[in-house]
Amino acid sequence: MTSDDNPFHDCELGLEAILGTHTFEDVLFTDETETPVNVLTVETPTHSQASVEEAKEFAVSIDTDTPQIALPASVETQVETQSKPYTSAAFFHFNATGSLERHRAYHAAYDSDAFTVDFEADYASGDLTITVDRATES
């Protein structure tokens, strides 16, 4: 098998590491995502107030071929940049899957016609479920 035939040739992890269904718990933006609080007013600044629906709409609005999810932004980022409490990323982003190696393997499978890659983003629980299967040959 040449490297052109193997979508995982540049990956540290092989197909075995991602084949099947894997759930990554508590990685998505939720209504419980931590936001900064002004110590003087004991209120969350306006820029850090957001709903899950707003975060999902933002993620979907990103113009890319790869489906996006809404991940929580750190409190530090929200304070330093006065940004929303979420950010958008590819569904296989290392902040969601836990490692750059897993990110690369999911990306390779997603880009390959030899596999089907589906995901479910459960913003109520914060869980992301990714399923990788071998594509059926017609």
Average pLDDT over residues 52-67: 94
Question: Per-domain residue ranges for the chain?
Answer: 15-133
Q: CB under 8 Å, gap of 24 or more: what pairs does 83-86 form?
A: 83/47, 84/47, 84/48, 84/50, 84/54, 84/55, 84/58, 85/29, 85/33, 85/34, 85/35, 85/48, 85/49, 85/50, 85/55, 86/29, 86/33, 86/50, 86/55, 86/58, 86/59
User: The pTM is what?
Assistant: 0.88
pLDDT digits (tens, 9 = 90+) for 75-100: 999 889 888 999 999 999 999 999 99
Residue 4 is predicted with a pLDDT of 58
